[in-house]
Amino acid sequence: MAHFAFRRIRVVGCNLPSKEPVLYVCLHRNGALDGAVYGQAVPHAQRTLSSQLRRGMLARMLFDGIEIVRPKDTAQDGARVSNRDAFVKCVAHLADGGAILFFPEGTSELGPHHLKFRNGVANLIQSTTLARIPALKVVALAAHYEAPTEWQSDVEVVVGPGEDFSGDLATGHIMARITSMLESVGVDCASIEERTELEALAYAATLGQPDIGYAQALKLLHGSQAGQMQPLWACARQEGLRLHQGIPLVPTRTPWLYAVLWVFLTPFVVLAAVLNLPVVVFAWYAPRKLADGPNVISLWRSLAGVVSAYVWVPLTAGVLLGVFGVLAALAYLAVSVAGLKGLYRWRKLSIALYNQIRASAQTRRLLHRLHDGIVQFVRSRMAQDRSGA
């Protein structure tokens, strides 16, 4: 599900601990897919998850982990799931030297800042450190999505420095430390408008700059470049330009190179879509019909796409195998994967080439100057951080 929803999941920041037990406390923004993304970063960790994700038989086939009942789910799941039992399982797993993914917010929201951290994480740490083992390593994780509701965007999981918790710790002390750890890897904004602009700026800083990470740019640009996006958006509206993740892309290198790559990728993307049309239709329709908030759009797309792919892909491959042979079935699978993974790049190229035709020379120069200014600012902050370190 994680790889269906997102093109690339990178792990950045500090090294993961080499020894366990470890409690990973995770910021929670993008629904149940957060668990899948963090699971890519720490694949061996046991996950906690909302009880609503395992109500039906199909859901239990797709989601696994230690169920925790949110207050709003008590009426439906309280008889089936006990939070007391869930915490006993978590404590036992940690005491046996395992790792746990835990979400202190308890629920998700694609808002400007994190939600309130609940005391359950403090109770878990107290139960573990005081009752079973002398010390516990706690590590904060934050998933930064370039475009959390878009199909096949990129994600970076930031790993914070681990801290040891031991001794007789008060709940308030634990929560203060957990809050500080999570806020150090996350980014909080005052409004959704501010966050939208910041995310667009950070994405712009990474364009053509392989050494600048998206999460790194978010941190460095936070609170420093307000209003920079307004000229870009004004140009886009005036000249009818298309946006990719908030940016009116234009080629930064020779446009014909973009055109050549677009021509190369287009057959794979189009053919993959045609060959897997039912999967594409389900993935397109489900979030429009079932998502009740932005934070579950990617979840419903993945659920519909993955479940339909479980049926469609083996069926199609089997028919091709029986009628045309092994090479046809392998070619179908290869084209499907290439089309899925090429979608992100193809979309960027399509928008950049479209804008190259629509934008005036003056607008293209303005966009290039703004991009250069953002990159130079980020690089100067990077140099300051290195000199300070």
Q: Helix, strand, or coil here: 139?
A: strand
At 389, is the pLDDT very low, low, confident or very high (cuts 50, 70, 90)?
Answer: low
pLDDT at 168: 87
| pLDDT band, residue 160 (cuts 50/70/90) | very high
The runs of H, that is alpha helices, within 78-169 are 83-95, 120-131
The pLDDT value recorded for residue 61 is 82
The yes-or-no verdict on residue 227 having pLDDT over 80 is no
Q: Is 226 a residue whose pLDDT tops 80?
A: no
Taking residues 335-341, report their average pLDDT: 96
| Cβ neighbours for 168, distance < 8 A, ≥ 6 positions apart | 130
Band (386; pLDDT cuts 50, 70, 90): confident
How large is the average pLDDT for residues 267-285?
A: 97
pLDDT at 225: 66
| pLDDT for residue 316 is more than 70 | yes
pTM, full prediction? 0.93
pLDDT value of position 318 = 97
Identify the helix (H) or strand (E) that includes residue 293: none
pLDDT at 203: 96
pLDDT at 60: 82
SS3 call for 26: strand
Give the pLDDT confidence of 118-134 residue by residue, as tens digits: 999 999 999 887 788 88
Name the least confident of 22-26, 95-99, 157-161. 95-99
Report whether pLDDT(67) > 70: yes
pLDDT of residue 385: 84
What percent of the chain has pLDDT above 90?
A: 78
Q: What is the DSSP letter of 179?
A: H
Report the chain's mean pLDDT, rounded to a whole number.
93
Output the pLDDT for position 204.
94
- Give the model's pLDDT for residue 253: 82
Pinpoint the alpha helices (H) of 119-250.
Answer: 120-131, 171-185, 192-206, 214-221, 229-239
Report the percentage of the chain scoring pLDDT > 70. 99
Alpha helices in the chain (DSSP H): 2-5, 33-41, 57-62, 74-77, 83-95, 120-131, 171-185, 192-206, 214-221, 229-239, 255-275, 277-290, 297-324, 326-358, 361-388
Span 71-121, pLDDT tens digits: 888 888 888 889 899 999 999 999 999 999 999 999 999 999 999 999 999
- In the chain the domains, ranked by start, together with CATH numbers, are 2-185 (3.40.1130.10), 192-248+362-388 (no CATH), 255-358 (no CATH)
Q: Where are the alpha helices (DSSP H) in 96-158?
A: 120-131
Q: Say how far apart CA 134 and CA 128 lie, in whole Å.
A: 8
**pLDDT score at 54:** 87
